[in-house]
Amino acid sequence: MPKKEKMIMINHIDDVRKLLCAWADWVRTGTGQNIGYPKSSAFIHADEGRETGATGCTNEVAEKIERTMCILKSISPLLFQCLLCEYLYKYTNQQACDYLKLGDKTYRTKRKEAEYFIAGSFS
């Protein structure tokens, strides 16, 4: 029987942005350096349930974002890269635009699409 997932309320896009910032911190701390690895990988479960200190994001929540990011990567690598540039790499808009070879308006639109995709996984 599958484990019941923790319910997280998303009331505003800012809630998603906070979760993405927490996910990026989770990845940076070393707990979540597993983009693309299956959840069954032993090292993923080493700190199961540990609080990361970033806005109360547990491994469970961060792993849900991680799974959604992997799905996004397979559906639209560009949207995936927009989120990486914004949250993981902490690029400025100009740096992200240069890296992705996009105009500023296109980058912001694609990033927002990706954020809404992540929000959809919590609905």
The domain spans of the chain are 13-32+52-120
How does DSSP assign 64-116, residue by residue?
HHHHHHHHHHHH-HHHHHHHIIIIIS---HHHHHHHHT--HHHHHHHHHHHHH
Q: Which residue has the tokens 């639109």?
A: 109
pLDDT of residue 7: 64
pLDDT means per 10 residues, the chain with 123 residues, are 60 88 87 51 44 55 90 96 96 97 97 94 81
* Neighbouring residues of 25: CB distance < 8 A, sequence distance ≥ 6: 52, 53, 54, 57
pLDDT of residue 52: 38
pLDDT of residue 84: 96
pLDDT of residue 91: 96
pLDDT of residue 32: 53
Query: Between vectors from CA 88 to CA 82 and to CA 90, what angle results, nearest 5°?
Result: 80
Instruction: Report the candidate in 90, 94, 118 with the shortest Cα–Cα distance to residue 107.
Output: 94
